[in-house]
């Protein structure tokens, strides 16, 4: 048993190290490569505050905030998504599926098109809506406790209603507002600014440690509410804490980058595959999410003849996996 535990720990550390190295490599490539290519030395000089012709603007003002936001938003989506999947013991229980992203999107579309608000106000609307929808879904699904299947089905229903509301708001939009709302709803890092990066970084620094401190209780809760309570876990208290922290991370990331499709959904299952059983998935999932966003954004910019927002690339990756997961669950006789 001790040998197996050491083997799992060593594997997890190796995976975390490799993922971190890949994120650093992808981050550097995204800063160096583009329509104009700069050397790592020039990029490092810009980061250290040196004034380098061309690179100071291209790297310092355009690429660096975008790549930094990609890394941080990916971390938020990854750890927030796997928190819901672990807590509810269901890979379908991600913010993409249960209505949290849909709530933030509907609020943002309403703020942009109907109220004509600016970027900061839109972000505030998205954050409040994400938190509100999460609490609504939790409240509607609570009946002597929360059952994952019930919460997911209620979340899917609310997400469908919110998507219809978003479509209605878009149908009434003027052309300029429609373009702005569509760019946000797709999930895009275009025009990323430091003013958008800082709030997400602060949210990550504050809320991620909260989730990490609850990691043991979260893992124990997978045994079921009764078993977890017998082992000393305050189930509902733990659930409320992790929901608020995870939704906060998702909401802040969504407010800055839009609802980048399927990152929160994919990160946990991918991390589970490469880490193996018996280990906490919070940190590996966060790193997988970050790597997905950075890589997908770079591919969307330079891998095709047309530039695509990052949400389009992640959507292409995530949609087939969602179909596969539903089909596999149905064939195995499980329930959603």
Of 257, 238, 234, 256, residue with least CA distance to 246: 238
Measure the CA–CA gap between 43 and 28, rounded to whole angstroms. 8
- Domain ranges, residue 234: 2-331
Residue 277 pLDDT level (bands cut at 50, 70, 90): confident
Residue burial 207-216, b: 16+ Cβ < 10 Å; e: rest: bbeebbebbe
Domain count, the chain: 1
Give the dihedral sign, CA 304/306/311/315. negative
Q: Specify if 86 maps to a domain.
A: yes
Residue burial 218-253, b: 16+ Cβ < 10 Å; e: rest: bbbbeeebeebeeeebebeebbebbbbbbbbbbbbb
CB 111 within 8 A of CB 122: yes
Residue 124's Cβ-side half-sphere holds a number of Cα atoms within 13 Å equal to: 4
pLDDT digits (tens, 9 = 90+) for 151-177: 888 888 999 999 999 999 888 888 777
Q: Specify if 336 maps to a domain.
A: no
Q: Specify if 164 maps to a domain.
A: yes
Give the dihedral sign, CA 248/253/259/261. negative
- CA distances to 28, 154, 202 from 22, rounded to whole Å, are 10, 37, 24
**Phi, psi for 142 (deg, rounded to 5):** -85, 125
Give the model's pLDDT for residue 67: 96
At residue 333, does pLDDT exceed 60? Answer: no
Q: Specify if 244 maps to a domain.
A: yes
In percent, the amount of the chain with pLDDT more than 90 equals 34
Q: Specify if 91 maps to a domain.
A: yes
Q: Specify if 266 maps to a domain.
A: yes
Give the model's pLDDT for residue 334: 43
CB 285 within 8 A of CB 115: no
Measure the CA–CA gap between 73 and 258, rounded to whole angstroms. 10
CB 53 within 8 A of CB 277: no
pLDDT digits (tens, 9 = 90+) for 235-251: 788 888 998 899 899 98
At residue 234, does pLDDT exceed 90? Answer: no
Q: Specify if 50 maps to a domain.
A: yes
pLDDT digits (tens, 9 = 90+) for 293-332: 999 999 999 988 888 999 999 988 887 877 777 676 655 5
Query: What is the chain's mean pLDDT, rounded?
Result: 86
Q: Specify if 258 maps to a domain.
A: yes
Give the model's pLDDT for residue 144: 66
Measure the CA–CA gap between 96 and 155, rounded to whole angstroms. 10
At residue 74, does pLDDT exceed 70? Answer: yes
Instruction: Tell me the CATH number at 286.
Output: 1.10.3470.10
């Amino acid at each position: 048993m001790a040998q197996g535990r050491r083997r799992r720990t060593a594997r997890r550390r190796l995976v975390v190290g490799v993922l971190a190295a890949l994120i650093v490599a992808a981050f550097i490539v995204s800063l160096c490569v583009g329509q104009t290519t700069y050397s790592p030395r020039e990029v490092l000089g810009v980061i250290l505050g040196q004034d380098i012709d061309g690179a100071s603007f291209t790297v310092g003002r355009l690429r660096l905030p975008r790549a930094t936001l990609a890394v941080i938003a990916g971390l938020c989506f990854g750890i927030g998504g796997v928190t819901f999947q672990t807590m509810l013991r269901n890979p379908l229980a991600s913010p993409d599926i249960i209505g949290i992203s849909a709530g933030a999107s509907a609020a943002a579309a309403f703020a942009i098109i109907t109220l004509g608000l600016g970027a900061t106000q839109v972000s505030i609307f998205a954050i409040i809506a994400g938190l509100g929808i999460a609490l609504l879904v939790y409240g509607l699904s609570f009946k002597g406790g929360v059952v994952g299947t019930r919460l997911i089905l209620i979340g899917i229903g609310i997400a469908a209603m919110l998507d219809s509301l978003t479509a209605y708001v878009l149908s009434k939009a003027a052309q300029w507002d429609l373009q702005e709302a569509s760019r946000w709803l797709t999930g895009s890092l275009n025009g990323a600014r430091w003013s958008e990066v800082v709030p997400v970084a602060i949210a990550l620094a504050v809320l991620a440690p909260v989730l990490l401190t609850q990691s043991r209780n979260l893992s124990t809760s997978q045994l079921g509410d009764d078993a977890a309570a017998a082992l000393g876990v305050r189930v509902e208290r733990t659930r409320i804490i992790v929901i608020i922290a995870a939704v906060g991370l998702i909401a802040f990331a969504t407010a800055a980058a839009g609802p980048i499709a399927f990152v929160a959904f994919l990160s946990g299952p991918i991390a589970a595959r490469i880490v193996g059983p018996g280990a906490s998935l919070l940190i590996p999932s966060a790193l997988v999410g970050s790597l997905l966003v950075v890589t997908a954004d770079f591919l969307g910019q330079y891998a095709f003849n047309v530039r695509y927002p990052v949400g389009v690339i992640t959507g292409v990756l995530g949609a087939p996996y969602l179909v596969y997961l539903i089909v596999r669950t149905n064939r195995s006789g499980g329930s959603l």
